[in-house]
Amino acid sequence: MSTKRYLPWLVAAGLVAGLAGGWLARELRAPAVPVLQSGTWLPGGRTVPDFQLLDERGGAATLAQLQGHPSLVFFGFTNCPDVCPTTLTMLTRVQSEIALPGLKVVLVTVDPERDTPTQMANYLQGFRRRYARSDRNTSRARQLDARAGRRRRAHRHAGWQLHDRSLGDRLPAGCRGHECGDLFAALRAGATRERSTRPRQPPRYLTSQAHQATDMSTPSVRRPAVRRPAVSKPGLAARAFVAMQYVIPQHLVSRVVLAATRSRWHSFKNLLIRSFMRGFQPDMRDALEPDATAYPSFNAFFTRALRADARQIDLGTDAVVSPVDGAVSQAGHITGGAVFQAKGHDYDLETLLAGQTAWSDRLRDGEFATIYLAPFDYHRIHMPMAGVLRGAWYVPGRLFSVNTVTVASVPRLFARNERVVCCFETNGMPWALVLVGALNVGSMATVWHGDVTPRRPRVITKLPLTNLAAPLSLAKGDELARFNMGSTVVLVLPRDAIHWDARLQPGETLRMGSMIGRMQPSAAAQTTNQA
């Protein structure tokens, strides 16, 4: 049988292996979130836009009134004689149990025609004076909810049902229990993290650990190191998944996946795209082309561009922004040359940076942030700050998965996997962004060099800095690279260069362009020696 006759079978086998591995990785991924005594942790808060509502005194209620302290936001209406008062009483008990300084409860009505300021004031007389109340009109409610990124999905719990939905689409005709107990969220200076409760006996709603909402009006501080919460020992399936990665031909599988994802055979690429949409449910609302099957190949769909207004770049001169959409794996301080990976695992900074001591020496005892891109995330990588490319290297290596289970099990994973190292300077300050490959990542590409992987020969290679497809100097937010399938980026900065944002904790969801830290004045005084 000729090679051409074998190829479809190889592609099919690689595709099945890739989809199976992706599914298993998704199933095994243990999110690094606090463990609640009861309730459900809903990660991934979105930025809340500014708004103006009407409070019970007839005055304006704005986002500014929610900044600088945590708040519990409850959506309901007063034509609800049974469940709504019960829910507000429950929130009062939650407020007492977690004992957060400055915590306020905000009731937002979804029935503004009947819930006048006078009606709201009379209704809330029996509750704590520190409750804040506000009104909202239907069109503004729809706009606010849509911009806050709420999806139509329901979470059923014992006692009541929590709906995460666009509340402005319709007004409830009456109280059917769950209509009153819609949602409450902890707002932190314009950012929301949604949390739900599952009432039990006794009603231990949420632990105080889950309510470590931070006053974002105060400066963040640089912590010695951020440690992921302890995770339980991986089960048999997880250990088998990790063991499998040591024996399979990782690069062959990734090459087969690369061929499959770049196929332009219409029926085949649509099958891949529809299967991916069902399995991972990516949000296409921000895509420049929201029709998933309109892309010429699966890879074009996977690396899709966003609308120009889909991400807001923090343009503050001292702001460092997230280079990707993703979830924080780890962030904190580098101890000498040891970068923290997971509990019990560190890896060497010099090895991560392709053995380039001129760069690793300048970044010793510095700061790092590791961000994981899930399959459903946006997969282009952007500049976290303005900078000039001073060096780039291809580093061969293994292609272990970078999901939580594998990261916690494989020693020195990020310094072992295939990667592309990009080193920059900003006003003389050195920093690096490392693109880490993974199983099924068909290739990594930069705006300067195009596809960097797969590559032959598989040896450490310094990439050229002349005759490039893009300028060496890029502005904050400019695209610099992309993953053709998902993986991880590691951002490395020098000592005392940045104060990480207090929200930068393991498991925290990030949006490209959002502020993750602020540069310190001393950073500008870094040596201008060239590496």
Please say if 487 is a catalytic residue. Answer: yes
CA pair distance 488, 471, nearest whole angstrom: 24
Structure tokens at 358: 């001129």
CA pair distance 42, 44, nearest whole angstrom: 7
Structure tokens at 420: 């592309």
The string of DSSP codes covering 218-263 is SPP---SB--PPP-PPP-HHHHHHHHHHHHS-HHHHHHHHHHHHT-
According to DSSP, the β-strands at 104-109 and 71-76 are parallel
Report which residue type is found at 150.
R
CA pair distance 216, 448, nearest whole angstrom: 37
Q: SS3 for 147? A: helix
Please say if 382 is a catalytic residue. Answer: yes
CA pair distance 286, 306, nearest whole angstrom: 6
CA pair distance 481, 446, nearest whole angstrom: 4
Structure tokens at 303: 């690396």
With vertex at residue 236, the alpha carbon angle to CA 234 and CA 237, rounded to the nearest 5 degrees, is 90
Largest CA distance in the chain: 83
DSSP letter assigned to residue 154: E
CA pair distance 453, 451, nearest whole angstrom: 6
Q: How many CA atoms lie within 13 A of 524 on its CB side?
A: 7
Catalytic residue among 115, 145, 325, 377: 325
Contact 321, 313 (CB under 8 A): yes
Question: CB neighbours of 74 closer than 8 A, spacing ≥ 6?
Answer: 87, 88, 91, 105, 106, 107, 108, 181, 182, 183, 184
Q: How many CB atoms lie within 10 A of CB 278?
A: 8
Query: Which secondary-structure segment (H or E) carries 142?
Result: helix 138-147
Catalytic residue among 69, 157, 382, 499: 382
Q: SS3 for 4? A: helix
| Helix, strand, coil content of the chain in percent (nearest 5) | 25, 25, 45
Torsion angles phi and psi, residue 438, rounded to 5: -160, 170
Please say if 163 is a catalytic residue. Answer: no
Structure tokens at 257: 């996946």
CA pair distance 116, 253, nearest whole angstrom: 63
Contact 413, 402 (CB under 8 A): yes
Active site residues: 325, 382, 487
